[in-house]
Homo-oligomer: A and B are copies of this chain.
């Protein structure tokens, strides 16, 4: 059974802090293993990548087998049911439309001192996309990573996806095809991150690596940060559902389990204002767990990491929500907008009783790569902004430099930076030069 917390329990603050502090990942020994893999790939290139792929993915490949070619993608696409290709295309179109609205505007203006100022956004030249394999080889993740990169204008997209035992979901390749991603490598883990960051004989290095992965991938991304950019350190998935007693408990149970079924380390939390309703949801979860294909995973997640919090007034829960800073926040209440307006920290907010979180995982349009582990306090879901960077522009002429330059000279001298001061003064003929 999940934890049960009541805000009126004198011990609630303690229990809530313990819930916030729950560690659902262990990365200590992982870091050392990852460091060795990164160093080895940097040193030995393809040979190291092949060794680790043999060891971890239980498959024998040569350097010419690292690449997944167009023929293989053709065959995969041909093997996919037409209705699923259609659904992927609808999803890609909707993700494209949403992300196109997030493309930042350049600016270029001259202010009242005559100084011309601007900001100019450009795409990164090359992006690497990590697509998890095995239990999480999701075609939807390909779309969520590759479409924003395309919308941003990234010219080169290199995708890596491990194929343990040589097995790969053909829909993953179909999704890549739909996004126009044609540079694909059958590698994963820290060795794939290393190949993207440092380059090998086969894989040219990229400028930025995005995409979720397991603890090894997360550790590898953290370690190569600086050599390349990364999006975020993704942890296990989370959902916080705020639901009043007017919801069908089976709907809410399905929503809670839709995160729990991802991973036994996932976390599903319900906040409700009705203890009897909490019981009905818990019962509906139990009933559902016996029928789910991934019921064992979901059951473990729910019993180990799940929580039900009973409170007095759902409209007063914003501080709790902000402390949890959930990846997914579902507001199944009568006035979801009023509650949403009070909330600051959430990766994505699902408003109302007819907006299950899963709709955002596939076809709503916004990204499903979202900040986990309370990082919604300071970070955002993946978007075109992750594939672009901004240069500021400054242009003075002699007149405008004269208007503002004196302040620069004063401050530079106060900071003891003589060349800074001189570089302005010499242009204005106000120095001793």
Give which listed residue, B125, B364, B394, contacts A359 with CB less than 8 A. B394
Bound complex: CA of A417 vs CA of B418, how far in Å? 64
CA distance A378 to B353 in the complex (A): 39
- B261 near A410 (CB under 8 angstroms)? no
Given known contacts A207-B378, A407-B363, is B101 in contact with A104 (CB within 8 Å)?
no
Within 8 Å of chain B (Cβ to Cβ): is A308? no
Sort chain A's interface into a size bin.
35 or more
CB pair B355–A394 under 8 Å, yes or no, is yes
Q: Is the CB of B411 within 8 A of A91?
A: yes
Contact A417 B294 (CB under 8 A): yes
Q: Which residue of B lies closest to A292 (CB)?
A: B418
Q: Does A356 reach chain B (CB closer than 8 Å)?
A: yes
A426 sits at the interface (CB 8 A): yes
Given contacts A207-B377, A347-B391, A390-B381, contact A411 B88 (CB under 8 A): yes
**Are the CB atoms of A420 and B261 closer together than 8 Å?**
yes
- CB pair A288 B87 closer than 8 Å: no
Binds B, one of A48-56, A58-66, A160-168, A220-228: A220-228
Q: Mark A77-117, 1 if CB is under 8 A from B, else 0.
A: 00000011011101100100110011010010101000111
Known contacts: A355-B401, A397-B354. The answer to whether A415 contacts B378 by CB under 8 A is no
Taking the nearest CB of chain B, how far is it from the CB of A174, in angstroms? 10
Given contacts A410-B87, A419-B260, A423-B358, contact A119 B102 (CB under 8 A): yes
Min CB distance, A378 to chain B, in Å?
3
With the chains together, A366 CA to B371 CA distance in Å?
28
Chain A binding surface, main DSSP class: mixed
Q: A373: CB under 8 A from chain B? A: yes
- Complex Cα spacing A433 to B253, Å: 13
If A104-B104, A351-B116 touch, whether A292 touches B393 (CB-CB below 8 Å) is: no
Q: Does A424 contact B (CB under 8 A)?
A: yes
Give A400's nearest chain B residue, CB to CB. B354
Asked if residues A349 and B391 are in contact (CB atoms below 8 Å), the reply is: yes
Tell me, yes or no, whether A421 is within 8 Å of chain B by CB. yes
Q: What is the interface of chain A, defined by CB distance below 8 A to chain B?
A: 83-84, 86-88, 90-91, 94, 97-98, 101-102, 104, 107, 109, 111, 115-117, 119-120, 122-125, 138-140, 171, 207-208, 222, 225-226, 228-229, 233, 248, 250-251, 254-255, 257-258, 260-262, 288, 291-294, 298, 322, 329, 336, 340, 343-367, 370-371, 373, 375-381, 383, 385, 389-398, 400-401, 404-408, 410-412, 414-424, 426-427, 433
Q: Which 3 residue pairs are nearest across A and B when measured between Cβ atoms?
A: A229-B378, A366-B392, A351-B395
For the A-B complex with A124-B378, A363-B408, A366-B394 known, give 17 more contacts whose Cβ atoms are closer than 8 Å. Answer: A94-B404, A101-B109, A104-B104, A139-B415, A222-B222, A254-B426, A257-B419, A257-B423, A258-B420, A258-B423, A348-B392, A351-B395, A354-B398, A356-B424, A359-B405, A363-B411, A366-B392
Can you list 29 A-B pairs with a CB-CB distance of less than 8 A?
A: A84-B410, A84-B411, A87-B407, A101-B107, A115-B364, A119-B366, A123-B344, A140-B411, A171-B414, A225-B233, A229-B377, A251-B427, A255-B423, A257-B419, A258-B422, A260-B419, A262-B417, A294-B417, A298-B419, A343-B391, A352-B396, A356-B424, A358-B420, A361-B412, A362-B408, A362-B412, A364-B404, A376-B391, A381-B390
